[in-house]
Chain A
Amino acid sequence: MFGIDLGKYRTLVVSIFLFLLFDLGVLVLNFVISSEIAQDAEAVNLAGRQRMLSQRTAKAALQIEKQAGSETPDPRLPAELALAADTFERTLHAFRNGGETVSGGGKPILLARLDDAAAQDILTRTDAVWAPYRKAMQAALAPGAGAETVAAMVGRAEDTNLQLLGLMNELTTRMEAIAASKANNLRMVQVGGISLATINFVIILVHFIGHLRRADRELESARKQTDDILRTTQEGLFLLDPEYRIGTQHSRALAGMLGTGQPGGANLLDLLRPVVSQKTLDTAREYLDLLLKHEVKEKLVASLNPLDRVEINMSEAPGIASQRYLKFAFNRVKEGKRVTHLLVTANDITRRVQLEQDLKESEERSANQMSMLVELLRVDPAAMQEFLAGAGSALDGMNALLKDQTEGREAHGARINGIYRIAHRLKGDAAGLGLSSLAGNVHALETQLSELRERSDLMGEHFLPVTVRVKALFADLEAIQSVVTRVAAMRAAVVVDPPRPAADAQAQALQFVQRWRAYATQIAQRRQKCVELSYGGIDIATLDAAQRETIVGVVNQFIRNAIVHGIESPDERRVRGKPAAGQLSVYVMRNEEGGVDLSFRDDGQGISTERIRLAALKSGLLSPERAHTSTDRELIALIFAPGMSTQDHADTDAGRGAGLDAVKEMVVGQGGRIRIGTTRGEYCHFRVTLPAAAARPVQPASEEIKA
């Protein structure tokens, strides 16, 4: 209708249109009929006047006759008769054919022809009576008319007077009847119109009340569905306005997620403020503005959402904190082209994040285990057993130190240094066997210890993480032990020949030498250096366990020390006229006293007393005055001091200054001594003497180092 889609308002518009149409129809009919009634009243009036005019002509005719003999006749009488007759004649004519006559006030008035047949019949009969009477009046009024014409007029008047009166009466009555019938019509029209309008109104009422109730029901049902969705969904669902306020209609789950009673109306960023960093919060505001106020593609900016993984720490009950992760996703709600709100979906992704973390950890663990397994398979079983025994007692040693509860800065410092030395040796042994993952774990322990060393507020409780890590190392050792056992069982199962006797001294000797070589090559490769290790002397398997363990530990430290600090890079060696590969020469022999002599020599750059002086100054081992006055001998002795290193950064191989400190402890612990010989740019030579197993006096370490 009207080219407009009226939709659900169509019926309403049609009803109102009909209502107006009925009212208008009644109004028009009313107007037409009442104006006809007004005209009819006029006509009835004129018909009544015809009665009066017929009587007036008769009266005037009689008076004219009466004064015929009089000497002063009234000159107004003939004019009055003429006027009355003329008015009667014109009105009669107007009634019969339609036309103009004069009103009572003398004004001209237009009459319509009377359509009514009965009225026309009355008029025809009136005309028949009136025409001869009118002729007689005209003759009597003509100038010079005689008394006989007057007498004829009077005679005619007497004849027709009553007849005309009767006819005009009849006419008046008839016209009144017509007018009454029209008034009746008018009433009928009014009643009909009002009835139709009322019916229409009732229809509208019934129709719309039904419609309203239906709409209400639908609305109620829709509201209930929305309520059900918001009550049941596990997602946090809400609308966010451009002022970042959360809409009042939100899912019930949201309150639990945000840990707030009434999120509706609250500012989302204010709610997040305590749980996210200021930077994330600022970025989140910028991101929301981007979606609300800028013409960007929603899909193409989703990856910038800073709230896609929000970590929330909540205390569910006093003392019980829970960590959860929420993901917020934002979608624009548009009206036309304008963005009015953002639809926000919040999901608790804690489970997913945990699974991801677990997966990552388990991948790392299995990779670690796999590499450990591969490492274990390469190691000679006897050497491994020896290592495990040594490592077990090393960890026990650490535990003993950790159990000591003595407080105080010095006690803590001594504890750290003690654990450090054990750890460093353990790391060296593990690395020597190629157990790099275990060596890595011990390295992590060292890192932890050096962090503790830096602390100024060191207290007993700070050792807790160290204890945890030592426990983890126990677990590592257990794991290794279990794998070793299984591998041994497997080897026993698959080997058909009986195992070779372990008495092959050459092979045994080769095995520990090969381990040293492998270790040396490994460190050299990490440092882009090249070394060759040569061995001469006895099979160390013939030594007693304590001596053998010490020799292996000490040589491992010397190898590392030599490659890291002594041996130059291949290029530098060529420049100095040395072979590209650094030469490490190791000798182990029994001495006359039943003890063991170890000689370890490298052809590197020797010991730089200047670097030691600098490093000792830096680490506070020497005061500035002492640093300047110290002799070379004194300075060289410092390489065995705890915490001494000339390397700036710690790595797996060196830099913590614990290596030679550990050597000193091992040797002195056995009652042995160390001597050093060095020439700058040429070599460095360590000579270690261990006493016979029977005699091991414990002596002050400082006395035993001869540079």
Chain B
Amino acid sequence: MKLLIVDDSNIIRSKIARALGAYGLEVVGLAANGRDAVARAAVTRPDVITMDLTMPEMDGIQCIREIRKLRPKVQILVVSALADKATAIQALKEGAQGFLCKPFTEQELTDAIGELIEEAQNG
């Protein structure tokens, strides 16, 4: 399974990459803003994406919308702080499948991704 990590924080990107790399996913790209994420999604054709919502250049919601057009079957996990539930819900309506609240533990992250991948393999 190929994974694309989208987050403007270098620390979060490394944390996710380390945890999910060890979990067995192949990290095919890291993006720090929405525009970059769309480009990388087009090139690397990931199966799973972790998506931050507040980012420079293009925010997460628009990014999900664009990526969904390119890769209708990709599984997207929104990883964001729970400051505004309404924004997170909006992101899920745009086509993400799950939400993980920052800050998170490695266990929470792998559990959420496990849940998401099971969906992808069944459906």
Contact = CB atoms under 8 A, between A and B. Distances in A.
Interface of A: 279, 282-283, 286-287, 289-290, 294-297, 299-301, 303-304, 306
B86 interface: yes
A375 to B, nearest CB: 34
Interface in B77-123: 77, 82, 85-86, 88-90, 92-93, 96-101, 112, 115-116, 119
6 contacts: A286-B89, A290-B89, A290-B93, A295-B97, A297-B119, A300-B100
A296 B97 contact: yes
Given A283-B86, A304-B85, A289 B93 contact: yes
B21 to A, nearest CB: 21
B93 A300 contact: no
Given A295-B97, A296-B96, A296-B97, A304 B115 contact: no
Contacts of A299: 98, 115
Contact of B77 (A294, A300, A306): A300
Give chain B's interface secondary structure class.
helix
Q: Looking at B82, B99, B100, B115, which has the most chain A CB atoms within 10 Å of its CB?
A: B99
B36 to A, nearest CB: 25
Given A286-B93, A290-B92, A294-B92, A300 B86 contact: no
Contacts of B85: 283, 287, 304, 306
Given A303-B101, A306-B85, A296 B92 contact: yes
Q: Which 5 A-B pairs have the closest CB atoms?
A: A300-B98, A286-B89, A283-B86, A297-B98, A304-B85
Contacts of B98: 296-297, 299-301
Contacts of A306: 85
A297 B100 CA distance: 11
Contacts of B100: 300
Given A297-B116, A297-B119, A303 B89 contact: no
A304 B89 contact: yes
Contacts of A283: 85-86, 89
Contacts of B77: 300
Contacts of B92: 290, 294, 296, 301, 304
Interface of B: 77, 82, 85-86, 88-90, 92-93, 96-101, 112, 115-116, 119
Nearest to A337: B123
Given A283-B85, A306-B85, A300 B97 contact: yes
A289 B94 CA distance: 12
Contacts of A303: 82, 99, 101
A306 B82 CA distance: 11
Given A300-B98, A304-B82, A304-B85, 4 more contacts: A283-B85, A290-B89, A297-B115, A300-B99
A286 B96 contact: no
Nearest to A295: B97
A304 B81 CA distance: 11
A304 B99 contact: yes
Nearest to B76: A296
Give chain A's interface secondary structure class.
helix
Nearest to A299: B115
A279 B99 contact: no
Nearest to B101: A303
B63 to A, nearest CB: 17
Nearest to B82: A303
B94 to A, nearest CB: 9
Contact of A301 (B86, B90, B99, B119): B99
Contacts of A300: 77, 97-100, 112, 115-116
A162 to B, nearest CB: 100
A533 B113 CA distance: 62
Contacts of B119: 297
Contacts of A296: 92, 96-98
B72 to A, nearest CB: 11
B101 A286 contact: no
Nearest to B88: A304
A239 to B, nearest CB: 22
A296 B89 CA distance: 10
B86 A282 contact: yes
B47 to A, nearest CB: 15
Contacts of B115: 297, 299-300
Contacts of B96: 296
Nearest to B96: A296
Nearest to A289: B93
A286 B99 CA distance: 15
A441 to B, nearest CB: 32
Contacts of A294: 92-93
A286 B82 contact: no
Contacts of B82: 303-304
A303 B83 CA distance: 12
B96 to A, nearest CB: 7
A294 B93 CA distance: 7
A296 B90 CA distance: 12
Contacts of B97: 295-297, 300
Contacts of B86: 279, 282-283, 286
A438 to B, nearest CB: 36
A306 B101 CA distance: 14
Q: Looking at B77, B93, B101, which has the most chain A CB atoms within 10 Å of its CB?
A: B93
Contacts of B112: 300
A282 B119 CA distance: 29
A304 B82 CA distance: 8
A287 B87 CA distance: 11
Nearest to A294: B93
Contacts of A282: 86
Contacts of A304: 82, 85, 88-89, 92, 99
A297 B98 CA distance: 6
A290 B88 CA distance: 11
Q: Looking at B92, B93, B96, B100, which has the most chain A CB atoms within 10 Å of its CB?
A: B92
Q: Looking at B86, B89, B93, B112, which has the most chain A CB atoms within 10 Å of its CB?
A: B89
Q: Looking at A279, A283, A300, A301, which has the most chain B CB atoms within 10 Å of its CB?
A: A300
Contacts of A289: 93
Nearest to A297: B98
Contacts of B93: 286, 289-290, 294
B26 to A, nearest CB: 22
A7 B68 CA distance: 45
Nearest to B116: A297
Nearest to A306: B85
A280 to B, nearest CB: 9
A242 to B, nearest CB: 15
B117 to A, nearest CB: 11
A50 B97 CA distance: 98
A339 to B, nearest CB: 14
Contacts of A287: 85, 89
A299 B99 CA distance: 9
